[in-house]
């Protein structure tokens, strides 16, 4: 016992002669023991309860004036007690030890003399018991902490054996996968793994359980049949000498969906830019085809053999022009005239048209919110969206079904921003178009908005319907989403911002003149030689003086020669600059010049601060007649404003 602090003993004994004998026995051990005496249980409890002395060991008589020594042995508050009795009854000894006493002695002179040794032995025993109790308590606290963590974490925690069977699954599996731990214990962890995400081989799994750590990302089937994305950390361990693996998985489904939406937005933006450029080039080609075809028809008698072929060329040009308009709508380059509109009224007005578009075996129903907010939109483009979606729904319901168009007001929160990163939380009008058709698989759904992607047979579709819808909706500052499963139909959901203020109507070109000829001087700026040549030929034929330029430098050279130029007819996009920037420079040279733009894009971005920002625009492809009418109207509008 060397090297330890002095032991505080409490002797509880009412017999003074016994107290004296015990004190004598401990006199030899005064350097180790401090002995205090109590004559009753009441007195002993008072000493134990006080903070004056903390007793390391209690030596207590069995029979006391006010009770039984066993009363000190409370399992909820264990004390180190040695019991003494004057009766050597084995039954009493067993009862004392069972009650929690460290030792039991029968009173005698020899027993009193040996009591210091008994006390030391009891103290060692008590220290061992306390150490075990502390270890058990620490273990219980650790278990409680881990249980608190595993039972309340939102992550999935699982233990798998070397055959990848579940040995433990945290309760979070119920909220994550709709299954209880009891359902999964003993089952193969690979059973509900997505087939495309299965681990490559049994060797791969064996490499994990042989003390390697890895991470994995995969899809796991929810109890409702859907797939959830998980990002897991897998660590090999040993449990009872048996190989096992601890899996900690986090549901990243929302993050994956957001990443896919961002990637889709980037891809659609890139495709939109490409589509806009293609449409611009096509419109230049179509302008030449349409113009030359009309000139040829004007020069031939109606009964000429080539007349019918030229008319067919005109029709084909019109169809090609419609196709480029769809590309421009997808690319956000279509002429845009937004204003506050009543979406319900627009849908009601289109009911007959939509009814004619779909077959008789398809029911058309509308569920319109009577208190619907107005939206700021271009009615023509929204009509195009409805037509495209109705045609898609019709084609998906060959055997009949129901097409439903519904509207509702919605107030979105931050979760809406996570789903649609390009939008802000706020007030929107939701337009839902749903059908009961054949639906589409996940791969088709993911690619549905891509231009030229179609599941229809060759010649049955352009693949631009949904792409056009996407372009129109996003240009309106909204969002479009598509949900579909094979055999369960398709639901297209569109969000359009609520209109808070009315827009002023845009000014139009002042009238259309019946007279197509003129004598004014026109500066024609067009970098495409074929389009420039055609436009110049048409204008000269009708009396105009035309100065041709293929670049801004050539145009400025013409304007600097001192010749009065009445009209600048320029492409919106010319090499090294823009038509608007060129117009600003020419106005400085000739303040009274009128401006008319041509474009193959459909709509150009506004340039605030430029004088020609609101000049009229002639959309390519145009016919000679349309060119002459627009030129004449622009010149006449300028003359009217000068007279005023």
Each residue's pLDDT tens digit, 118-174:
989 988 988 888 888 888 888 888 877 777 777 777 788 888 887 888 998 988 888
Closest CA to 56 of 104, 7, 6, 116: 7
Can you list the domains of the chain with their CATH numbers? 7-133 (3.40.50.2300), 153-251 (3.30.450.20), 258-330 (1.10.287), 339-497 (3.30.565.10), 521-643 (3.40.50.2300)
- In angstroms, what CA-CA distances link 356 with 390, 391, 492, 599? 10, 10, 21, 34
Query: For residues 69 and 24, is the Cβ–Cβ distance under 8 A?
Result: no
512: confidence class by pLDDT, cuts 50, 70, 90: very low
- Residue pointed to by tokens 């055999």: 487
Query: For residues 410 and 372, is the Cβ–Cβ distance under 8 A?
Result: no
pTM for the model stands at: 0.44
- In angstroms, what CA-CA distances link 426 with 342, 430, 450, 498, 500? 19, 12, 28, 9, 12
* Per-residue pLDDT reduced to its tens digit, 324-351: 765 665 555 555 667 888 999 989 888 8
Query: For residues 368 and 342, is the Cβ–Cβ distance under 8 A?
Result: no
- In angstroms, what CA-CA distances link 366 with 162, 275, 344? 57, 34, 9
Residue 356 sits at the vertex; the CA angle it makes with 350 and 359, to the nearest 5 degrees, is 130
Taking the C-alpha atoms of residue 181 and residue 178, their distance in angstroms, rounded to an integer, is 10
Percentage above 90 pLDDT, the chain:
18
- Residue pointed to by tokens 């460290």: 102
Query: For residues 466 and 392, is the Cβ–Cβ distance under 8 A?
Result: yes
Taking the C-alpha atoms of residue 519 and residue 165, their distance in angstroms, rounded to an integer, is 90
Lowest mean pLDDT segment, chosen from 182-196, 253-267, 345-359: 253-267
For the chain, what is the mean pLDDT? 81
* Per-residue pLDDT reduced to its tens digit, 58-88: 999 888 889 888 888 877 778 898 988 877 6
* Per-residue pLDDT reduced to its tens digit, 13-33: 988 999 999 999 998 888 889
* Per-residue pLDDT reduced to its tens digit, 248-291: 888 888 888 778 777 766 766 676 667 666 777 777 788 888 88
Total Cβ atoms within 10 A of residue 313? 18
Taking the C-alpha atoms of residue 604 and residue 602, their distance in angstroms, rounded to an integer, is 7
204: confidence class by pLDDT, cuts 50, 70, 90: low
Beta bridge partners of 490: 435, 484
Looking at residues 364-391, what average pLDDT do you find?
88
3 state SS of 17: helix
- 201 pLDDT more than 70: no
202: confidence class by pLDDT, cuts 50, 70, 90: low
Res 271: pLDDT: 65
Q: Look up residue 340 and give its two tokens.
A: 């506050």
196: confidence class by pLDDT, cuts 50, 70, 90: confident
Res 97: pLDDT: 81
3 state SS of 235: strand
User: Which distant-in-sequence residues (6+ apart) come within 8 Å of 218 by Cβ?
Assistant: 193, 194, 197, 229, 230, 232
What does DSSP say about strands 7-12 and 57-61: parallel, antiparallel, or unpaired?
Answer: parallel
Res 369: pLDDT: 94
Taking the C-alpha atoms of residue 248 and residue 261, their distance in angstroms, rounded to an integer, is 27
Residue 192 sits at the vertex; the CA angle it makes with 263 and 165, to the nearest 5 degrees, is 130
3 state SS of 40: coil
């Amino acid at each position: 016992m060397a090297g330890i602090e002095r032991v505080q003993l409490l002797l509880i004994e009412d017999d003074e002669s016994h107290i004296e004998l015990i004190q004598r026995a401990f006199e030899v051990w005064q350097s180790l023991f401090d002995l205090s005496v109590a004559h009753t249980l009441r007195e002993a409890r008072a000493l134990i309860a006080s903070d004056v002395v903390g007793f390391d060991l209690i030596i207590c008589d069995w029979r006391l004036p006010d009770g039984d020594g066993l009363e000190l042995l409370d399992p909820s508050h264990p004390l180190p007690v040695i019991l003494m009795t004057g009766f050597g009854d084995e039954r009493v000894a067993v009862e004392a030890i069972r009650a929690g006493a460290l030792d039991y002695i029968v009173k005698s002179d020899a027993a009193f003399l040996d009591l210091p040794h008994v006390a030391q032995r009891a103290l060692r025993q008590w220290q061992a018991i306390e150490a075990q109790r502390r270890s058990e308590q620490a273990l219980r606290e650790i278990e409680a902490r881990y249980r608190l963590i595993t039972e309340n974490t939102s992550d999935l925690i699982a233990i798998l054996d070397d055959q990848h069977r579940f040995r433990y699954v945290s309760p979070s599996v119920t909220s994550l996968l709709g299954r209880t731990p009891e359902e999964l214990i003993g089952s193969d962890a690979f059973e509900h793994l997505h087939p495309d995400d299965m681990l490559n081989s049994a060797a791969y799994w064996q490499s994990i359980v042989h003390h390697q750590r890895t991470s994995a990302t995969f899809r796991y089937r929810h109890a409702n049949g859907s797939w959830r994305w998980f990002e897991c950390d897998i660590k090999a361990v040993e449990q009872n000498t048996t190989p096992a693996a601890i899996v900690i998985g986090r549901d990243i489904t929302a993050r994956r969906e957001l990443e896919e939406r961002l990637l889709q937005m980037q891809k659609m933006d890139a495709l939109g830019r490409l589509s806009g450029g293609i449409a611009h080039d096509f419109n230049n080609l179509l302008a030449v085809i349409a113009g030359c075809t009309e000139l040829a028809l004007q020069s031939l008698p109606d009964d000429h053999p080539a007349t019918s072929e030229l008319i067919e060329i005109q029709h084909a040009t019109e169809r090609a022009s419609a196709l480029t308009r769809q590309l421009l709508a997808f690319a956000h380059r279509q002429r845009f005239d937004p204003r506050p509109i009543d979406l319900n009224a627009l849908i009601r007005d289109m009911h007959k048209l939509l009814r004619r578009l779909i077959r008789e075996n398809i029911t058309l129903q509308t569920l319109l919110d009577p208190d619907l907010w107005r939206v700021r939109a271009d009615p023509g483009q929204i009509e195009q969206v409805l037509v495209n979606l109705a045609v898609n729904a019709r084609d998906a319901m060959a055997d009949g079904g129901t097409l439903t168009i519904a509207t509702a007001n919605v107030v979105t929160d931050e979760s809406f921003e996570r789903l649609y990163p390009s939008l802000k939380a706020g007030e929107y009008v939701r337009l839902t178009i749903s059908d009961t058709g054949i639906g589409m698989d996940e791969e088709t759904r993911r690619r549905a908005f891509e231009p030229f992607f179609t599941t229809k047979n060759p010649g049955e579709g352009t693949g631009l319907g949904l792409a056009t819808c996407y372009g129109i909706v996003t240009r309106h500052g909204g969002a479009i989403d598509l949900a579909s499963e094979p055999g369960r139909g398709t639901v297209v959901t569109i969000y359009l911002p609520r209109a808070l203020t009315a827009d002023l109507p845009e000014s139009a070109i002042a009238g259309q003149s019946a007279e197509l000829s003129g004598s004014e001087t026109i500066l024609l700026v067009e970098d495409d030689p074929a389009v420039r040549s055609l436009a110049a030929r048409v204008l000269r034929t009708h009396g105009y003086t035309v100065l041709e330029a293929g670049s801004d430098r050539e145009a400025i050279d013409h304007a600097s020669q001192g010749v009065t130029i009445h009209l600048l007819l320029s492409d919106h996009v010319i090499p090294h600059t823009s038509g608007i920037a060129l117009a600003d420079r020419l106005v400085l040279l000739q303040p009274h010049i009128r401006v008319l733009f041509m474009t193959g894009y459909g709509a150009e971005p506004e340039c605030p601060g430029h004088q020609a920002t609101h000049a009229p625009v002639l959309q390519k492809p145009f016919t000679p007649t349309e060119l002459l009418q627009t030129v004449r109207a622009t010149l006449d509008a300028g003359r009217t404003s000068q007279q005023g």
